[in-house]
Amino acid sequence: MNLSEIKRLDSEHFLGVFGERCPVCFTRGEGCTLYDQDGKAYTDLFAGIAVNALGYNHPAVTGALVAQAQTGVLHTSNLYYVEPQAKLAALLCENTFADRVFFSNSGAEANEGAMKLARKFFCAQGSGRYKIVSSDHSFHGRTLATVAATGHDYYQAPYLPMLPRGFSQVPYNDLDALRAAVDEDTAAVMLEPIQGEGGVTPADKEYLRAVRALCDETGALLILDEVQTGVCRTGSFYCYEQYGVTPDIMTSAKGLGCGFPIGAVLATEKVASAIAIGDHGSTFGGNTLACAVSLSAVSYMLGHDFSAAAREKGEYLRTALCAIGSDKIAEVRGMGLLLGVQLVPEVSAGALVRRLLSRGFVVGTAAGNVLRLTPPLIIEHAQIDAFVQALGEELQNV
């Protein structure tokens, strides 16, 4: 089917939430390269929104997926033991602060689980603490509760009144505002260590440390949403390590399955001990296929020190971006291979994405006219060089 036929079916039958998409349909991928229906090659610096950390057709992903599929067992339900689920839970606990893990199918669902855990933690103590304080310009997902936690009218306005009560947002990186918002009813503070969708804005180190101290002081739990920042992307397995701040609950998704949908809630034993049989559950969450793929991909990334690779390549990319020396670039922000290029208002990030696409480079945007670069962690220096060269030329042309 050619692109115009696909576009016609999409515009006639698909719910109109994505509108006019980038005019391409990728049909094949290898390494860091995607191919469209005409065989045109594109270098990918977006990875399907920071998901495809191992690029395309990586043996650690494709091999595990095919091998598991060939056993015939994709899913058995959580009524039975699931070997890759148990192993993946152990692997995540061995490599993080967490003692226990629960698997979901997406980031939003992981955040739902995290907020339920926080409320149950206090409920189990006979406390009525229920409020969740998050931040402006945050993004926590599209379910009703995660939309309530997402600090953006754009996401909330069509769905008022917000279903669960007790959500509020404060300016990011503003300790006084957070201090004023946290009270004796606050169950948790929920933050992204780097706001991804919101514009690739990292938390200040002192801020996140002070947030941890504030939580300790007030008894609120700290939930870190590492759905976008996790799994080696920012230069450590999870981003919190680089801040020296340990959460009570953390969520993961995007890069966790390297293209296969899976999410996770991770928690300390202190928090997890409040959970009783039947408090939470999922039909598909933690299914055999998702866990087999994730186990293989995450083991590979840990075994080959992808955190160091993300640090090194991220520094290389950042340095090259700054070396463009363009007056159209206001700032380059982020950590590791989660980078945002803040453009001046005269240059539209959306338009730039389309021009780069036509030149064979896939990149994304974030809120606030930011070009978002989240390439597969396997990207090569030569691919970075070619992209930066093209970006420099495009910025000169506007």
The residues binding ligand PLP (CB under 6 A) are 106-108, 111, 139-141, 192, 196-197, 225, 227-228, 253-254
CB of 13 to ligand PLP, least distance (A): 22
CB of 197 to ligand PLP, least distance (A): 6
CB of 40 to ligand PLP, least distance (A): 28
Q: Which of 379, 396, 246, 247 is nearest to 328 (CA)?
A: 396
44 vs 197, which CB is nearer to ligand PLP? 197
Task: State the Cα–Cα distance between residues 355 and 394, nearest whole angstrom.
Answer: 8
Strand partners, 133: 168, 189
Which residues lie closer than 8 Å to 143 by C-beta, 6 or more apart?
108, 109, 112
Which secondary-structure segment (H or E) carries 134?
Answer: strand 131-135
CB of 246 to ligand PLP, least distance (A): 18
CB of 139 to ligand PLP, least distance (A): 5
Task: State the Cα–Cα distance between residues 249 and 293, nearest whole angstrom.
Answer: 24
106 vs 326, which CB is nearer to ligand PLP? 106
CB of 208 to ligand PLP, least distance (A): 15
82 vs 147, which CB is nearer to ligand PLP? 147
The 10 Å Cβ neighbour count of residue 292 is 25
CB of 312 to ligand PLP, least distance (A): 24
Number of residues assigned to the chain: 398
CB of 51 to ligand PLP, least distance (A): 9
Strand partners, 263: 104
What's the token pair of residue 29? 């991928």
Q: Is the four-CA dihedral 249, 254, 255, 259 of positive or negative sign?
A: positive
29 vs 107, which CB is nearer to ligand PLP? 107
194 vs 395, which CB is nearer to ligand PLP? 194
CB < 8 Å & 24+ apart, contacts of 242-247? 242/335, 243/193, 243/203, 243/205, 243/208, 243/209, 244/205, 244/209, 245/208, 245/209, 245/211, 245/212, 246/97, 246/212, 247/97, 247/222, 247/223
173 vs 228, which CB is nearer to ligand PLP? 228
228 vs 369, which CB is nearer to ligand PLP? 228
- By beta-carbon distance, which residue lies closest to ligand PLP? 107
CB of 353 to ligand PLP, least distance (A): 18
Q: Do 254 and 228 form a contact (C-beta atoms < 8 A)?
A: yes
What's the token pair of residue 31? 């390494």
Task: State the Cα–Cα distance between residues 332 and 385, nearest whole angstrom.
Answer: 16
CB of 105 to ligand PLP, least distance (A): 8
111 vs 342, which CB is nearer to ligand PLP? 111
Three-state DSSP string of 81-98: CCHHHHHHHHHHHHCCCC
Q: Burial of 313 by CB count in 10 Å (0-12 exposed, 13-18 middle, 19+ buried)?
A: buried
User: What crossing angle do the helices spanning 59-70 and 288-303 adopt, rounded to 10°?
Assistant: 150
129 vs 140, which CB is nearer to ligand PLP? 140
119 vs 233, which CB is nearer to ligand PLP? 233
- What ranges in 175-237 are assigned the alpha helix state H? 175-181, 205-218
